[in-house]
């Protein structure tokens, strides 16, 4: 009514309307109405986006402003700083975005690692499901006002999709439509056009056998006479494109080819492809396959099974949406899928200058892309990730190397009395609990809960009773020990001991083998035969000394100790050090004019310096960090000066 009133306001408008015919008049009303709706829609989207962006900005600002007040530092570094000069002002790290912030890169990486923990315990997942919101759902349309569409009410879309997703998970997990479910996880993301979709991984107790895939997943057009309801859902939601030669402007086209590899090859039976994914049965029309007619650019096009996205008939017919179902039992595909499920939302393409290289909060903000649908979802506090069973993260740190949260006021007290960590509490539990002494570190969450307030492990009070022990119950909880890069050698070997040694009571006890305290965790791993034999690296160097130049042998040795992490690099050095010094000895003999000079510690030191220089280029690590003796740089300078002095002598005068 307001729009109609505006059209007839003013003499100019009256004259314009009076000169129109009926068709032009209706067309003008429609154009003005469409522009008005489009303007209101843009204002609505901008309002929703701005609301959540302000919420997220406040959260990120809190993290940035509290970097100096709530500092994270390894305990041993904090203690050393306090003991050195008593100054707590320079203790801390760069501006970090912690894993506790939902959607941060660290948060997504942790979920990917948790998914791989499921793979480690239960093997590869059975089903990979992508569930996409359907804006034509009756639950959405019946809540809209006349003339409105789902794009005008993202709150309704978010609420309905949330309920549909819960219903889908209950349908799979509780009603066991594919069989009993062992564990599951999903992540919610948003498409470019704004509609939410969920990536779901399902682990079943009874694995889907290759001859059972066709009973669960189909990639064919259903028979319209047998099941007209399923045929309608598949035709509306499960046809890809068409793209390629039929439609070069399709969004999936990249460099003239479909990025989703459609159209697929017609095949009479389901087989396993080279990439680990099954090649589903797609029969041709000559082999009893079906086809249908779809409209593309006002033209009728015949579509066969080559264009059908794999689906589950029971899920598609129940939820009437785009539900892509894939079998992902292959080891080749599971790592990619676990990362894909937890890759996070789309980010804008940006370039970070050097001034922001250490500010993770700024990097995250500059690349952040927020759609209206995601904004509503986050405002409602709907979960982005859910899973079962729970995964408990277990910290790994060296003795006096635990992470401490401190302020400038309590830094001295924290350094004197560091708080207990999950690892130190594990040691204490093993000292006082006989059952804990039978467990590995990663098995603790299955039988114990971590009490954050008291910072200690407590036996579970619910679950399955453990035979032979009173008041001990087990659950499905999984413990995941944080990964450590091999370049952080001592912490890496500590983690290796925690994975293999049951019931340790202290850091010293972990380094004790056959009643003898080892000097390092690496030595303890060697004596327990937990490290690989260096025979293959020994053979590699042995082959090299036969046919390679000396500098090539040094380069190969540098590559081995920098990137391959041999168990005992000192033994390799002692065995082949003479071969790595031949060219240095030859050069010195030529400079000195004395062919009788023999190899010495100074020459070995020159070779070590050359090797360390190459290791710094390759891995930015010193030899002392790679398990070798550090070279003597002052000896190198003195040796060069001695060579220079010897070369200043008049050899003819000395001979006379």
Indicate the SS3 state at residue 194: coil
* Boundary-marking domain end, from 41, 65, 89: 65
Length of the chain: 656
Residue 592's CB is within 10 A of a number of other CB atoms, namely 15
Residue 4 confidence (pLDDT) above 50: no
DSSP 396: -
146 inside domain: no
Indicate the SS3 state at residue 52: helix
Q: Torsions phi, psi of 388, nearest 5?
A: -155, 135
574 inside domain: yes
Q: Tell me which residue of 420, 421, 429 sits closest to 447, measured CA to CA.
A: 429
95 inside domain: no
Identify the domain containing residue 249 by its residue range: 220-308
Secondary structure in 3-state letters for 274-315: CCCCEECCECCHHHCCCCEEEEECCEEEEECHHHECCECHHH
Q: What is the mean pLDDT of residues 493-502?
A: 92
> Do residues 228 and 155 touch, judged by C-beta distance below 8 A?
no
478-481 and 391-394 strand pairing = parallel
User: Which residues neighbour 52 within 8 Å (Cβ) at sequence distance 6 or greater?
Assistant: 370, 374, 375, 376, 378, 379
498 inside domain: no
* Boundary-marking domain end, from 279, 308, 337: 308
Residue 373's CB is within 10 A of a number of other CB atoms, namely 24
User: Which residues neighbour 518 within 8 Å (Cβ) at sequence distance 6 or greater?
Assistant: 511, 512, 524, 527
Q: What is the mean pLDDT of residues 187-202?
A: 85
Listed in order, strand segments (DSSP E) in 515-630 are: 516-517
Q: Tokens 């492990």 sit at which residue?
A: 457
pLDDT band (50, 70, 90) for residue 332: low
Residue 625 confidence (pLDDT) above 60: yes
Q: What is the mean pLDDT of residues 399-420?
A: 75
598 inside domain: yes
525 inside domain: no
151 inside domain: no
Tokens representing 120 are 């480690």
Q: What is the pLDDT of residues 558-601, one digit of tens each?
A: 998 888 878 788 889 999 999 999 888 888 888 777 778 888 88
Give Cα 203 distance to the centre of its chain: 19
Residue 118 confidence (pLDDT) above 60: yes
Query: Most confidently modeled of 65-74, 98-107, 128-137, 184-193?
Result: 128-137
* Boundary-marking domain end, from 10, 32, 65: 65
Full DSSP string of 346-392: -B------GGGTTBHHHHHHHTB---HHHHHHHHTT--SEEEES-EE
Give Cα 335 distance to the centre of its chain: 10
Q: What's the angle, vertex CA 103, arms to CA 101 and CA 109, rounded to 5? A: 95
Q: What is the pLDDT of residues 233-292, one digit of tens each?
A: 999 999 998 888 888 888 888 888 888 888 888 999 988 766 667 889 999 999 989 988
Task: Please give the tally of structural domains in the chain.
Answer: 3
Q: What is the mean pLDDT of residues 140-163?
A: 90
Q: What is the pTM of this model?
A: 0.74
25 inside domain: yes
């Amino acid at each position: 009514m307001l729009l109609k009133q505006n059209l007839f306001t003013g003499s100019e408008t009256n004259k314009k309307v009076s000169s129109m015919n009926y068709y032009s008049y209706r067309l003008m009303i429609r154009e003005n109405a469409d522009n008005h709706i489009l303007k209101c829609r843009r204002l609505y989207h901008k309002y929703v986006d701005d609301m959540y962006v302000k919420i997220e900005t406040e959260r990120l600002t809190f993290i940035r402003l509290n970097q100096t007040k709530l500092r994270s530092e390894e305990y041993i570094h904090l203690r050393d700083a306090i003991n050195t000069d008593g100054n707590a002002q320079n203790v801390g790290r760069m501006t970090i975005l912690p894993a506790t912030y939902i959607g941060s890169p660290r948060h997504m990486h942790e979920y990917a690692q948790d998914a791989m923990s499921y793979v480690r315990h239960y093997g590869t997942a059975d089903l990979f499901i992508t569930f996409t919101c359907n804006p034509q759902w009756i639950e959405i349309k019946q809540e809209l006002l006349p003339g409105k569409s789902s794009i005008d009410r993202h709150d309704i879309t978010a609420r309905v999709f949330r309920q549909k997703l819960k219903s889908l998970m209950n349908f799979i997990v509780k009603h066991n439509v594919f069989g009993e479910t062992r564990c599951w996880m999903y992540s919610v993301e948003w498409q470019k056009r704004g509609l939410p979709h969920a990536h779901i991984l399902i682990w079943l107790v009874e694995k889907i056998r290759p001859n059972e895939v066709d009973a669960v997943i189909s990639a064919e057009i259903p028979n319209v006479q047998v099941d007209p309801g399923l045929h309608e859902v598949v035709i509306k939601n499960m046809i890809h494109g068409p793209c390629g030669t039929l439609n070069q402007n399709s969004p999936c086209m990249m460099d003239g080819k479909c990025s989703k590899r459609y159209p697929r090859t017609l095949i009479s039976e389901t087989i396993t492809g080279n990439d680990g994914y099954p090649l589903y049965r797609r029969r041709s029309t000559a082999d009893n396959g079906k086809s249908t007619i779809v409209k593309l650019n006002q033209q009728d096009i015949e579509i066969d099974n080559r264009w059908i996205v794999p689906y589950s008939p029971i899920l598609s017919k129940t939820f009437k949406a785009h539900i892509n179902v894939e079998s992902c039992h292959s080891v080749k595909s599971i790592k990619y899928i676990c990362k894909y499920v937890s890759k996070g939302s789309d980010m804008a393409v940006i370039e970070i200058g050097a001034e922001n290289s250490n500010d993770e909060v700024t990097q995250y903000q500059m690349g952040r892309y927020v759609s209206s649908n995601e904004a509503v979802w986050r405002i409602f506090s709907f979960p982005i990730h859910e899973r079962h069973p729970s995964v408990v993260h277990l910290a790994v740190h060296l003795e006096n190397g635990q992470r401490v949260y401190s302020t400038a006021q309590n830094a001295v007290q924290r350094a004197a009395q560091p708080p207990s960590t999950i690892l130190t509490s594990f040691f204490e539990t093993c000292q006082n609990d006989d059952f804990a002494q039978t467990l590995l570190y990663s098995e603790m969450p299955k039988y114990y809960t971590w009490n954050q307030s008291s910072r200690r492990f407590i036996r579970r009070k619910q679950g399955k009773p453990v035979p032979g022990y009173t008041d001990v119950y087990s659950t499905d909880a999984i413990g995941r020990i944080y990964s450590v890069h091999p370049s952080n050698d001592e912490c890496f070997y500590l983690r290796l001991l925690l994975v293999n040694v049951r019931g340790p009571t202290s850091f010293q006890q972990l380094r004790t083998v056959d009643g003898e305290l080892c000097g390092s965790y690496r030595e303890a791993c060697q004596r327990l035969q937990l490290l690989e034999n260096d025979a293959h690296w020994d053979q590699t160097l042995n082959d090299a000394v036969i046919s390679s130049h000396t500098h090539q042998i040094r380069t190969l040795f540098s590559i081995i100790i920098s990137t391959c992490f041999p168990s005992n690099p000192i033994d390799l050095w002692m065995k082949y050090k003479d071969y790595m010094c031949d060219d240095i000895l030859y050069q010195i003999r030529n400079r000195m004019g004395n062919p009788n000079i023999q190899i010495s510690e100074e020459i070995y030191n020159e070779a070590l310096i050359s090797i360390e220089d190459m290791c710094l280029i390759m891995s930015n690590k010193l030899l002392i960090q790679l398990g070798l003796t550090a070279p003597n740089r002052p000896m190198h300078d003195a040796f060069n000066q001695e060579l220079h002095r010897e070369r200043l002598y008049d050899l003819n005068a000395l001979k006379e």
